[in-house]
Copies of this chain bind each other. A is one copy, B any other.
Amino acid sequence: MPTSLHQQAVDHLGSRIIDGSVLPGEVVLASELEDELGFSRSVIREAVRVLASAGLVVSTKRVGIKVQPAEHWNPFDPLVIRWRLASEGQGAQLRSLTELRVAVEPMAAELAAEHAPAEFCAELLNLAARMRHAGREGDLDSFLELDIRFHALVLAASGNEMFANLAHPIGETLRGRTELGLMPEHPHEEALAWHQGVADAISAHDPKRARESMELIMRRTVQEIYEVWAHKPRLFPRPVR
């Protein structure tokens, strides 16, 4: 309950920026935030420094704390992802993350088939079996948690720390997807077989088959979730040099 004042300050300003309550280009003063939240200068300053490191604001002398345009925000920052998933930008965030999954997870499966240690293989086989069981029982809560663990484990088994680090936001997208009611009543029998196929192929050190099975899962995932963002406009910021 008593989350630290620092966290509160970061969350207050960060979520307001990302949900559009404070627009890019606007300037807020540290003293305003002090009054608004009733916190002291040090708390506000530390929070601003953290938000600046995520690209949300820049603070300059004589002018104040200026909100940066969205293309400066670090879309891989866990806080930014969480705030976006809780705001109007949820659709665009789900699209970005899902496209990233489609690109990364087949590659992760391929690498896992080449490099995964034995205990990862055993755990993957175990999870696949339990997913099959939970899926056939119609136990969707268990299925979701197992699904999250399965994909996180494949990412970790790739031996690529950037892939492994995507497990958290990807888990949140899976949870978000069920909250939006975008999961089928019963997991498809095919999906269960594909997960089993990924686990089998990785255990058998068969990179090609591991990739192909994961690609099938990803294709189905996109089909199921596509409507959420179908109407969301894409943004094309010019790259900075």
Contact = CB atoms under 8 A, between A and B. Distances in A.
A161 interface: yes
A231 interface: no
A107 B111 contact: no
Contact of A236 (B79, B92, B120, B152): B120
B239 A156 contact: yes
A229 to B, nearest CB: 11
What is the oligomeric copy number?
2
Contact of A74 (B77, B117, B153, B155): B77
Interface in A139-176: 149, 152-153, 155-165, 167
Interface of A: 6, 42, 45-47, 49-50, 53-54, 70-71, 74-79, 92, 95-97, 99-100, 102-104, 106-108, 111, 115-117, 120, 149, 152-153, 155-165, 167, 234-239, 241
Question: What 5 A-B pairs come out closest when comparing CB atoms?
Answer: A159-B234, A76-B76, A103-B107, A152-B239, A46-B49
